[in-house]
Amino acid sequence: VKLNPNPFGLTQEEVDLMTILATGAKRREAAELLDCDETSIQRAVVRVIAKTRARSTMHAVSLLSAIGTIAASDVVSFQKGQS
């Protein structure tokens, strides 16, 4: 049985964006890296949240990491009290 690492049907651009955000980058930084504006980033994040039925950006990152769509090694661990 072959597992589907992208069961939510994300585009490669959406996967790339979520991988960047998983590293702890802000949306502005993601926009610079992907050579687009912050509004485009915000719209893409909203699409990913809708496709994954996540509650937030970090919830989407967690889901995508858990199923292997993005590498767990890219995900920054946020501890309480840290910014």
Successive 10-residue mean pLDDT values, the chain, 83 residues: 77 94 94 96 97 96 91 67 40
Q: CA distances (Å), 44 to each of 8, 71, 82, in order?
A: 14, 19, 26
Q: Provide the pLDDT for residue 78.
A: 53
Token pair 């090694």 is at which residue?
73
User: In 10 A of CB 44, how many CB atoms?
Assistant: 23
pLDDT of 46 reads 98
Q: Which pLDDT score, from 0 to 100, does residue 14 have?
A: 95
Tokens of 59: 């919830």
